[in-house]
A and B are shown apart, each in its own frame.
Chain A
Amino acid sequence: MSVVAFLNDSIAVAENEYRQFRRNRSAILISLVVLPLFFTVSLGAGQGGAGTTFSPTANIPMGFVDNDNSLASLRLWQTLASSPDFHNLIQSYDEQAAIAELGTKRIYAVIVVPKGFQNDLESGNQAKLILYTDDSEPGVSDQIQSTLTSYVQSYDPNVEVQPHLSQLQRQSVAGVGILTKGAVFAGFNIGLTTVLAIVQIFAGFYEIAGGISREREEGTFARLLVSPISIGSIVLGKTIFDVLLTVIRTFTVLGIAFYGYGARPNTNLLTLLALSLIIALVTMGIGFVAASLKLGQRAVVIVEFFLILFLFAFSGLIIDINLLVGISQVVGNLLPFTYAFDALKRTILLGRPLLSLTFDLEYLIGSILVSYTVALVLLHIFRERLIT
């Protein structure tokens, strides 16, 4: 078979996927609307963002210690207290006593205006605010920090929020890895890393494994197999179409995250798209492997459930991979999603250029190649089993 014929067949399969897809309202709805919307809004509502009217920090009790007692610090207090994000701001006069309250669940942060705050502002120097946060609640301190940052910068661009690592933070475990590195995250950035990974994995796997399973059950896969098309063309054609869906889904997620929840990733759109496609391709490869094993539709859903479970448990989505122990760390280190999630965090949160993440990229591209190779070999070996 010539390369041209191979590509023509692949494009015909992709077109065919598109024709079927556009007639299938439930597929359009689930794949392009419900999935991205559900995950983004769920996490957005849970984590909130700087651009939303709903504020996840609004009701969190926080201490405010004014050591400057100046007009500027008073204005700052008024600005924060009247904002919809700091409804539960408690004025405190003793910095040490306020800090001692952290970890008791009575307050979750202490905002300290140091002496010289007004002087710094008047002399054009960088004025500082010190923020003590309770990191025993993953995500809360991050939210407070990012919301406060956006507020004080709109109050005066010369004010800088200085995260202060308390003893409590250093002792805490799960979820504090990011903060203790000293990064400052704005809006819905953490949520975005999670949503981008989950949506692509959820949709990519089902579209490939579930799609082939349905074709097998309906006899259309056998129809393709009695024609001169090669298995490779079928795989490539289905991949091409799913890449298209991935692009649409990624833009949907980003649109909701940007405009709905104020996500401000420290990277560009191209990187986000590239990472989403890489994650989707890894998942599609695994989907093809699953399809070659003659999984029924129900089995596909069960496998997908485990895939997501693995993502949550071992890929650093909830618990940093370095904090896992024993076999779970081995599993975590083997899972390609670990490196996908790491790449998302490093680009979206820390602003690292994608191409500088050599190991992550090598592992992910290697995973794509391995999963597709294994899938092609298995589809050839188990060709007979794919006929009902």
Chain B
Amino acid sequence: MPEEAITTKDLTKTFGHFPAVDGLNVGVGKGELFGLLGPNGAGKTTTVRMLCTLIEPTRGTANVVGYDIREQAAEVRRQIGVVSEGVSLYKDLTIEENLKLLSTLYEIPRPKAEVRIRELMDMFAFREKASRLIGALSSGWAKKAMICAALLHSPQVLFLDEVTSGLDPQSAIALQDFTKKQCDQGVTVIWTTHYMGEPEKICDRVGIMFAGRLVQVGTPNELKHSVSELSMVEVETPDLSKTQLDKVKLKLKTMKHVCRVTYLDSKLQVSCERTETLAEEVAAALLDVGARIRTINTKDPTLEEAFIALTGGEEEIDRFLESAGQKA
């Protein structure tokens, strides 16, 4: 692991008796894009808020680029950029006016600030919208403005909390690409989301949070394969007769790694312990009984499936969401 930009030690936050974050221990490397994945109320935003020094931990602490969040909060704030729900820009000001205010607060010398503001406005194509008030921008542009503000002082750590929610798909993809580039330049990014697809695509590592706890940490692949050694093949085979299906099932079930065979809506699904030859074996079995094959797809477990498995299944998630909703 590269040098750590963030280290948490037993980081805990309770609201009354409700543990929003419970004993979080994690390290995030410098330049790493680390995803925090979890349903609403899992403790992601609370974790980010503690690391941003917006709220104080009840127990434990964290170190952000060498500064303790409890003891050196002001220094931590100088090193971080935050885009989070509940952290907004002034709606009655333009993007430029917002950035000028922040440049004073971050003690960026005026000439340097002007260059940086121009640079960011160009980077995000804000020039034409420079005179528009933040309140008059669409949600996508407003989010871009917030990212500009978060990047103004060239932070070493960037917290992007649910940053793609409310964005159109193109903007979301552009933002993901931009974030990856930031990491390439050495910026550490904490990306929190409840969209399962996002971290799978962009994150170097993902931490799965549930009920205030960090359930598992790993690369998206490690997480997927930690919960399931199953692979699946889905074959579109129309007009498969019952006799043909029985023969195929019989043949496949004799193979020791095959777990389950189902046929529904002209699709035959075969789950098995991971094996490289499954698709060939299923195709051979079907061709043997004279079935037609229209398409054939292999399917690995998704992060969503991994998440569900790691957090105790769908029923457990439903129970949690219900109780989190009641607490909210």
List A residues at the B interface (Cβ < 8 Å). 1, 5, 8-9, 12, 15-16, 19-20, 23-24, 218-220, 222-230, 384, 387-388
Contacts and interface: CB of A to CB of B under 8 A. Distances in A.
A313 B21 CA distance: 49
Interface string B49-93: 100111110000000000000000010011010101111111111
Nearest to B149: A223
B86 A228 contact: no
B107 interface: yes
Contacts of B89: 220, 223
Contacts of B93: 16, 19-20, 23
The interface size bin for chain B is 20 to 34
B54 A387 contact: yes
Contact of A226 (B52, B85, B92, B104): B52
Contact of A228 (B49, B54, B107, B133): B107
Contact of A227 (B77, B90, B91): B77
Contacts of B78: 228
A220 B88 contact: yes
Contacts of A218: 88, 91
20 contacts: A1-B74, A8-B107, A12-B104, A12-B105, A16-B93, A16-B97, A218-B88, A219-B86, A219-B88, A220-B88, A220-B89, A223-B87, A223-B149, A224-B105, A226-B52, A226-B77, A227-B102, A228-B107, A230-B74, A387-B86
B18 interface: no
Contact of B87 (A23, A226, A228, A230): A226
A281 B49 CA distance: 33
B75 to A, nearest CB: 8
Contacts of A222: 54, 84, 86-88
B133 A23 contact: yes
Given A1-B74, A20-B90, A226-B77, 4 more contacts: A12-B101, A219-B87, A219-B88, A225-B54
B175 to A, nearest CB: 19
B195 interface: no
A228 B92 contact: no
Contacts of A23: 92-93, 133
Contact of A16 (B52, B101, B149): B101
Contact of A8 (B55, B87, B104, B133): B104
A385 to B, nearest CB: 9
Contacts of B104: 8-9, 12
B178 interface: no
Contacts of A16: 90, 93, 97, 101
B49 A387 contact: yes
Given A222-B86, A223-B89, A384-B55, A228 B105 contact: yes
> Nearest 6 A-B pairs (CB), nearest first?
A219-B88, A12-B104, A227-B105, A20-B92, A222-B87, A384-B55
